[in-house]
Amino acid sequence: MEKRMESLVEISKAISSVLELDRLMEVIMDHAVLAVGVERGIIFLRSADGSLEAKVVRNVEKETLANAEEVSRSITNEVASSGKYFLSSSLQDDPMASGRASVRDFKILSVLCVPLVARDSIIGTIYLDSRKLTKVFSEGDVQFMLAFAGMAAVAIENAKLYEASRSEARFWRDEATLRFGFERIVYASPSMEQLSARARNVARTNVSVLITGESGTGKDLFARAIHYHSLRREKKFVPINCSAMPEHILESELFGVKKGAFTGATVDKHGLFEEADGGTIFLDEIADMHPSLQAKLLRALQEGEIRRVGDTAIRHVDARVISATNKDISVELKDHRFREDLYYRLSGIVISIPPLRDRTEDIAPLARHFVKQFCEEQHLPVKSIAGDAVNRLQEYRFPGNVRELQNILQNAVLFSGEEIEVKDLELPNLAGTAVVPEGDFSEATRQHIIKVLDKVGWNQTRAAQILGLNRTTLQAKMKKLNIVRT
């Protein structure tokens, strides 16, 4: 009895370590045949329609699976229906079975069949038989197999759940790839075609990527597309805006906090680098990071190690870093606001997204895309865009870039008829911004922002919405361009 218990413990360890269902069934069958010392075995599982289906057969020799099932089918059906085991130590003497040609031909003497029960449901059976005169199933065999079947049933159900969760994870991963992949980046210009190809090529590597471009050009879209086409796509994509919080808060968000490190740190907290372990961390507006924190980030990138705030323990992380900035990084380096050594760590590949005014070929397909997308989201009939409305959009300079175009078209969808016309486009003095001398974009941007502010009574929140900018970004542009209310 003690040896049987030890055997059950070892078997339990073996089957609980296997999560793939097909492999698990093989392991269960092998252990069942070996432990009881019989010649043949079959595991049946219920299929979707409730019928029993043979999944694994052992030692059938030359007989086909159909012949092997012939002997066991009535017995397994009975066990699966009643939930009680079947035992026969002399099948040849059983008048119900001895008349079967298969029983005579295979010379089956002893049979034991036990139910597989999980969560009060019979999910299948384990069938064993023997043709040896010396093998007669004992009460100990029965009790052993009942205990074994109980463990096996739980393992089978866990494997099913594991496979279902993997299937669901694959589904959502594929959904995420479709939602955030390169296929969602709409363009028609050669420059964006080249950028997309460059990003696709780097996606499947672990090279760090720095994405530059004005606000609203789609830097975050490229970052997500790179992640979801990388070998890390099954792990997390963790974004953080480095300009949105003070230095000490950003440090704790990135690297985590040890309990008691400061007032309010009541529990240990892991940081975003730990959360992104195995995946990708996206550091947006990286050029706004404080110089002292840049040094700590550099150490994390060089060594692959982070230390929580207030902690002495070092933690190893493996996170790919994609960063982005809307600033001219060469100016930041020249003025020593950004560390040169950190720049070279972040810029394995640089992807510079041009402003929308430099790729007017993209405006028409983007406009149709945004209109269709917004109509579908709001459950509205999809509207068309008049040709002259598209022409006007192509004449406009779009200081807020793609984000501004998206906001303009969302407003137009809400207040237009079946077709979006020029009058539906909320563009201040559009005709006056049609032609801007080469190299004078900053002044054109300045004048446009002033016109938008005038239109909304200098309500910065509303102006930012029209321009497709964050309020803080608008304020930064106003400061840079010396825009003040007079």
Domain ranges for the chain: 2-164, 181-352, 357-480
Residue 214 sits at φ, ψ, to 5 deg, of: -65, 165
Identify the weakest region by mean pLDDT among 16-25, 92-101, 267-276.
92-101
Q: Do the beta carbons of residue 32 and residue 128 sit within 8 Å? A: yes
Taking only the tens place, the pLDDT of each residue in 318-371 is 999 999 999 999 999 999 999 999 999 999 999 999 999 999 999 999 999 999
**Residue 431's pLDDT is what?**
41
**Residue 439's pLDDT is what?**
40
In whole angstroms, give the CA distance from residue 297 to residue 293.
Answer: 6
**Residue 25's pLDDT is what?**
87
Q: Which residues contact 170 (CB under 8 A, 6 or more apart)?
A: none
In whole angstroms, give the CA distance from residue 295 to residue 340.
Answer: 11
**Residue 71's pLDDT is what?**
58
Q: Kindly tell me if the per-residue pLDDT of 89 is higher than 80.
A: no
Q: Where are the beta strands (DSSP E) in 224-357?
A: 237-241, 256-257, 269-270, 280-284, 305-306, 315-316, 320-325, 349-352
Q: Kindly tell me if the per-residue pLDDT of 173 is higher than 80.
A: no
> What average pLDDT score do residues 64-74 get?
59
**Residue 93's pLDDT is what?**
57
Residue 469 pLDDT grade (very low, low, confident, very high; cuts 50, 70, 90): confident
**Residue 64's pLDDT is what?**
46
Please list the residues that pair with 257 across neighbouring strands.
269, 309
Taking only the tens place, the pLDDT of each residue in 16-25 is 778 888 888 8
**Residue 434's pLDDT is what?**
38
In whole angstroms, give the CA distance from residue 437 to residue 444.
Answer: 9
Q: Which fold has domain 181-352?
A: Rossmann fold (3.40.50)
> What average pLDDT score do residues 384-398 get?
93
Q: Do the beta carbons of residue 299 and residue 287 sit within 8 Å? A: no
**Residue 333's pLDDT is what?**
94
How many degrees, rounded to 5, is the angle at CA 468 between CA 436 and CA 425? 70
**Residue 131's pLDDT is what?**
75
Q: Kindly tell me if the per-residue pLDDT of 437 is higher than 70.
A: no
Q: Which residues contact 3 (CB under 8 A, 6 or more apart)?
A: none
Q: Do the beta carbons of residue 24 and residue 159 sit within 8 Å? A: yes
Of the options 1.20.1090.10, 2.130.10.10, 2.60.40.420, 1.10.8.60, the CATH number for the domain spanning 357-480 = 1.10.8.60
Q: Which residues contact 438 (CB under 8 A, 6 or more apart)?
A: none
Taking only the tens place, the pLDDT of each residue in 134-149 is 667 888 888 989 999 9
Residue 444 pLDDT grade (very low, low, confident, very high; cuts 50, 70, 90): low
Q: Kindly tell me if the per-residue pLDDT of 440 is higher than 50.
A: no
**Residue 421's pLDDT is what?**
93
Please list the residues that pair with 209 across neighbouring strands.
322, 349
Q: Which residues contact 171 (CB under 8 A, 6 or more apart)?
A: none
**Residue 429's pLDDT is what?**
54
For 42-79, b/e burial (b = at least 16 CB within 10 A) is bbbbbeeeeebebbbbbebeebeeeebbbbbbebbeeb
Asked whether the domain spanning 181-352 has the same topology as the one spanning 2-164, the reply is no
**Residue 473's pLDDT is what?**
81
Q: Kindly tell me if the per-residue pLDDT of 107 is higher than 70.
A: no
Q: Kindly tell me if the per-residue pLDDT of 165 is higher than 90.
A: no
Q: Do the beta carbons of residue 317 and residue 279 sit within 8 Å? A: no
Q: What whole-number percentage of the chain has pLDDT above 90?
A: 39
**Residue 101's pLDDT is what?**
47
Identify the weakest region by mean pLDDT among 18-32, 268-282, 304-318.
18-32
**Residue 322's pLDDT is what?**
97
> What average pLDDT score do residues 155-173 get?
72
Identify the weakest region by mean pLDDT among 250-264, 400-414, 459-473.
459-473
Q: Please give the residue that has the higher pLDDT: either 348 or 474.
A: 348
In the numeric block, the tokens 């694959």 are attached to: 170
> What average pLDDT score do residues 165-170 get?
62
**Residue 14's pLDDT is what?**
74
Q: Kindly tell me if the per-residue pLDDT of 55 is higher than 50.
A: yes
Taking only the tens place, the pLDDT of each residue in 113-127 is 999 998 888 999 999
CATH code: domain 2-164 is: 3.30.450.40
**Residue 174's pLDDT is what?**
55
Query: For the packed helices 219-228 and 190-203, what is the interaxial angle rounded to 10 degrees?
Result: 40
Residue 457 pLDDT grade (very low, low, confident, very high; cuts 50, 70, 90): confident
